[in-house]
């Protein structure tokens, strides 16, 4: 094969008169450049590691302190209060040094110690400042004098030009709430969902737990919070994600869409080339720590820990629990196309492949007409099915020989790319185009995504893209951050030629992509088929509906002097009640990344105030003034709960950790068992937009992403992801199951639309209501759309 010959760096022939060496200059040059690049990368990482390690100080500040101490030797002012003299007298081998040498050395040692002390003083001062969260509870648009002073102090102690991980050591630890506060908030959250008898029983369980068992569990949890950087995150990753034995496809993985209205090129290989190159640029910045840390209010830093495992990461199946394997410096990716797996090298001559070179490689794969090997077509279905059969098959059939080599290539790849063979994307002319697009991103054909990779990049024949993300290593905002960078770089920096190809010269001398080889016995093929059938059953049961709400957006909601998130959550409560005629336990995800290693917390959106508002909306006798007053009260309650969750005073993560401790200690708690078994029939999440502000969507309104979504959490419930896009658009991604006779994603989407318009009408004069009602979409109560 041509690529095999090109990979040979030298050849030798043994002759009677000696050995004849033949060196390939091109290969030797590539090896040399790769080595130079590797050392350069290590040097940059070391430099940035030092800069982040001493932040908010800088290495140059050490020199300033040393010069100040050295100067004191000549002006005869002892700034060390005698400490330099003590160091000088206790130096080892001082008899071998001159007086001047000892004085200089003692000044340097004292200056270094003082410098390190000042660094820790600055860090702990900043950590103390960041532990204050009073600012988040202030009314929007209003800032107290104390908060202004606090912001100034945070800016002053935050230093200049921070790197991605500069603030990690200064972030406060997630506090452990008191048991009394957590139980009080829990009982308050379930009051609107229980009748008097059920609520009284729950109060008794809570009271018994608080009096007899809580103190012991709480002490252990506080001890862990002192020892670990975060008392929740490691258990959350292990027990919520990695120990689950059910398929992660649909049940855990989530997806993110491409641009809604714009397709930069309709050439599949070219679009994939630009996007992959942009990802390599992002990965280089990430590995070097050169990305700017995210900061609330432009000042309060967020934890960046989750970003570390974005690339070169795979979830490895196990019999009892999975684990996340993260590698460094991976230089290839694996591409799936029509049942074949290809390995593509991402570097040549010590540099990334250019977009045009990547396009060439991907086009070669698209042009390849070879057939899949036996068992290869549906091999990835192992990652879509149940975890135990996959773990057993991995040990039995993929732990040695050619199968191990090929599997290692997939699991050690920077990420996984699927060149899909069916066009997808949002098309206003097609009724269900968004529904088809979301289902393709969520599960595809059940065998054309490697669901265990940190993310699978999906490229469609019409130039559209998307991402399927494994959930254990990070949450949606982390991947959203990367995806915003990729789309902006693709469209506004790299660009395309007039013919739609990647810019740059075409290099036809690159080694061709390499087919991964497999020897899959019939027994393993049976396991693959079983996994495929179980995954297909799950995928076929997903009822997904994507909906663009363009009647109004964040701009109009803000004019109503209310939070857009609270507005949408109350609309979801109203839609849920109209759809099911009952209220249910509602999950909204909130982030806790203002704390070290923080991930998420739950906001229980179905409050007593929200229930009162919904009942008023359904009460023909209530006036709009009464409804509006109840709405404002419910919105304020929701905002307060969201703030409590963000600042470490949530309910569910604390109870979850108390439950884990009880299992470790063998303590039986009916209260915790009951709490942890309650189903979330309405699970919601908001995907953040414009984290980087690389694109001015007011200037380029068509360059907006459709956001992302996830599968239904409960068999008889809904999953709703919503994205507030700019000022005038909100996208909804609604999931449920066809097998449930009580749910219908399309119907629920129509209820959301009507609820949004009904609430907005409360802020209008009474005579505008009739005109608003004309916009309502007729609801069809009956059989589901399929």
Catalytic machinery residues: 471
Tokens of 744: 């219908």
Contact 537, 530 (CB under 8 A): no
CB count in 10 Å sphere of residue 701: 14
CB atoms within 10 A of CB 774: 6
Distances, alpha carbon 249 to alpha carbons 243, 318, 395, 451, in Å = 15, 16, 21, 7
Q: Per DSSP, what are the bridge partners of residue 357?
A: none
737, β-bridge pairs: 542
Contact between residue 470 and residue 453 where contact means Cβ atoms under 8 Å apart: yes
Q: How far apart are the C-alpha atoms of 265 and 703, rounded to whole Å?
A: 14
C-alpha R_g of the chain: 30
Longest dimension (CA), the chain: 108
Residue 303 per-residue DSSP state: -
- Give residue for tokens 């529904």: 435
Closest CA to 360 of 504, 515, 517, 516: 504
Sheet holding 542-549, edge to edge: 542-549, 729-737, 718-725, 682-686, 586-591, 600-604
**Burial call 273-296: b when 16+ CB within 10 Å, e when fewer:** bbbbbbbbbbbeebbbbebebbee
Helix or strand run (H / E) with residue 603: strand 600-604
| Residues 6 or more apart whose Cβ sits within 8 Å of residue 166 | 51, 52, 55, 56, 159, 293
Residue 297 region by backbone torsions, left for phi larger than 0, else alpha for psi between -120 and 50, else beta: left
| C-alpha span between 108 and 113 (Å, rounded) | 9
Q: How far apart are CA 656 and CA 252, in angstroms?
A: 18
Q: Quick one: which of 70, 62, 66, 170 has its CA closest to 126?
A: 170
Q: Are 383 and 527 in contact (CB under 8 A)?
A: no
Q: CA-to-CA distance for 398 and 520, rounded, in angstroms? A: 9
Structure tokens belonging to residue 449: 């995504």
| 658 sits in which H/E element | helix 652-665
CA-CA-CA-CA torsion for 391, 396, 399, 405, nearest 10 degrees? -90
* Pairing mode of beta strands 340-345, 323-326: unpaired
Question: By the 8 A CB rule, do 419 and 344 touch?
Answer: no
């Amino acid at each position: 094969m041509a690529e095999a010959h090109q990979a040979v760096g030298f050849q030798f022939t043994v002759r009677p008169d000696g050995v004849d060496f033949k060196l390939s200059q091109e290969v030797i040059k590539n090896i040399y450049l790769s080595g130079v690049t590797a050392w350069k990368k290590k040097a940059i990482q070391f430099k940035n590691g030092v800069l982040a390690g001493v932040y908010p100080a800088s290495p140059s500040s050490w020199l300033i302190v040393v010069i100040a101490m050295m100067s004191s030797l000549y002006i005869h002012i002892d700034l060390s209060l005698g400490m330099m003299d003590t160091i000088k007298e206790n130096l080892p081998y001082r008899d071998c040094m001159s007086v001047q040498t000892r004085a200089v050395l003692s000044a340097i040692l004292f200056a270094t110690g003082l410098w390190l002390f000042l660094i820790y003083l600055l860090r702990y001062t900043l950590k103390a400042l960041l532990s204050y969260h009073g600012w988040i509870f202030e009314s929007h648009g209003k800032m107290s004098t104390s908060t202004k002073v606090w912001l100034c102090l945070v800016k002053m102690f935050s230093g200049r030009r921070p790197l991605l991980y500069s603030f990690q050591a200064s972030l406060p630890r997630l506090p452990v709430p008191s048991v009394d506060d957590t139980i009080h908030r829990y009982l308050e959250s379930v009051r609107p969902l229980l009748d008097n008898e059920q609520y009284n029983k729950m109060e008794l369980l809570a009271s018994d737990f608080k009096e007899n068992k809580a103190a012991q569990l709480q002490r252990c949890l506080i001890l862990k919070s002192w020892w670990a950087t975060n008392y929740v995150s490691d258990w959350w990753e292990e027990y919520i994600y990695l120990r689950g034995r059910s398929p992660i496809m649909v049940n855990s993985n989530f997806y993110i869409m491409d641009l809604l209205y714009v397709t930069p090129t309709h050439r599949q290989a070219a679009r994939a080339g630009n996007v992959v190159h942009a990802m390599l640029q992002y990965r280089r910045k990430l590995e070097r720590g050169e990305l700017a840390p995210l900061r609330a209010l432009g000042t309060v830093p967020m934890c960046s820990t989750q970003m570390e495992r974005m690339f070169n990461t795979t979830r490895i199946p196990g019999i009892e629990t999975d684990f996340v394997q993260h590698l460094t410096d991976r230089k290839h990716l694996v591409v799936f196309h029509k049942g074949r797996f290809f390995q593509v090298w991402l570097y040549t001559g010590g540099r990334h492949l250019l977009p045009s070179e990547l396009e060439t490689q991907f086009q070669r794969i698209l042009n390849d007409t070879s057939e899949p090997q036996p068992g290869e077509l549906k091999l990835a279905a192992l990652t879509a099915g149940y975890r135990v059969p996959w773990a057993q098959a991995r040990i039995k059939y993929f732990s040695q020989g050619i199968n191990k080599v090929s599997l290692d290539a997939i699991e050690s790849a920077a990420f996984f790319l699927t060149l899909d063979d069916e066009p997808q994307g949002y098309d206003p002319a097609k009724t269900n185009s968004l529904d088809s697009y979301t289902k393709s991103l969520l599960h595809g054909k059940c065998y054309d995504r490697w669901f265990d990779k940190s993310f699978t990049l999906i490229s469609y024949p019409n130039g559209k893209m998307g991402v399927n993300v494994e959930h254990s290593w990070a949450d949606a905002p982390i991947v959203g951050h990367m995806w915003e960078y990729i789309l902006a770089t693709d469209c506004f920096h790299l660009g395309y030629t007039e013919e739609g190809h990647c810019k740059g010269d075409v290099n036809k001398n690159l080694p061709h992509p390499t087919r991964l080889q497999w020897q899959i016995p019939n027994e393993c093929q049976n396991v693959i088929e079983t996994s495929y059938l179980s995954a297909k059953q799950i995928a076929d049961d997903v009822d997904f509906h994507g909906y663009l709400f363009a009647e109004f957006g964040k701009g109009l909601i803000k004019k109503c002097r209310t939070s857009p998130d609270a507005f949408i959550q109350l609309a979801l409560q109203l839609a849920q009640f109209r759809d099911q005629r009952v209220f249910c336990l509602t999950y909204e995800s909130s982030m806790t990344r203002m704390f070290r290693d923080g991930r998420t917390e739950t906001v229980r959106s179905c409050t007593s105030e929200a229930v009162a508002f919904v009942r008023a909306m359904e009460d023909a006798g209530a006036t709009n003034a009464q409804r509006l007053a109840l709405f404002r009260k419910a919105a304020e309650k929701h905002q307060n709960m969201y703030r409590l969750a963000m600042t470490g005073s949530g309910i569910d993560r604390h109870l979850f950790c108390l439950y884990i401790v009880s299992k470790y200690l063998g303590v039986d708690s009916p209260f915790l068992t009951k709490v942890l078994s309650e189903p979330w029939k309405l699970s919601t999440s908001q995907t953040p937009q414009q984290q980087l502000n690389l694109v001015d969507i007011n200037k380029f309104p068509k360059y907006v992403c459709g956001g992302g979504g996830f599968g239904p959490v409960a068999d008889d419930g809904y999953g709703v992801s919503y994205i507030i896009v700019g000022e005038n658009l909100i996208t909804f991604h609604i999931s449920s199951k066809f097998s449930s006779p009580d749910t219908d994603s399309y119907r629920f989407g129509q209820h959301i639309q009507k609820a949004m318009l009904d609430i907005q009408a409360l802020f209008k004069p009474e005579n505008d209501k009739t005109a608003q009602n004309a916009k309502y979409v007729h609801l069809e109560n009956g059989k589901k759309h399929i």
